[in-house]
Amino acid sequence: MTDRPTLPLDIYEEKIAIYRIVRGFLGLVMRDANIDIESLFKFAKETDEVIFLFDPEVSIYIHELYKKAVDLRYTATMIEHHNVIGEERSKYVNQNAELLLWLSEQVEEVRAVFSKHIAL
């Protein structure tokens, strides 16, 4: 028998929906190695109420995902659409690669973060 309390089905469904939103968001990032502004806004809107469903750990985690995705978008924009060259361009390319690596690691990490807070 487990010491973890079980969730009512309606709360479980709300929490698992947030988990699926986060996984889908990460899937978009991995598919495109970038994220468009509309997807950022949609993610922010769909996860806005997470603070009411989860403890602060999950809320902070989702906020960190969002911030890193915004940074990914910014660095990609600087690389693609601005006339940056030399060391400045290298700085953005390196930041972009680091962000993409971190976000790719979250595809597995998100399961560990959410599994502590979702159980039937």
Angle at 64 between CA 115 and CA 110, to 5 degrees: 20
Q: Do residues 76 and 96 lie in contact, with contact meaning Cβ atoms separated by under 8 Å?
A: yes
In the prediction, which pLDDT does 40 show? 98
pLDDT surpasses 90 at 48: yes
In the prediction, which pLDDT does 3 show? 59
Per-residue CA distances from 110 to 5, 50, 100 (Å): 21, 14, 15
- Residues 59-117: pLDDT tens digits? 999 999 999 999 999 999 999 988 889 999 999 999 999 999 999 999 999 999 999 88
Nearest to 25 by CA among 11, 53, 12, 44: 44
- Residues 6-21: pLDDT tens digits? 778 888 999 999 999 9
pTM, 2 dp:
0.89
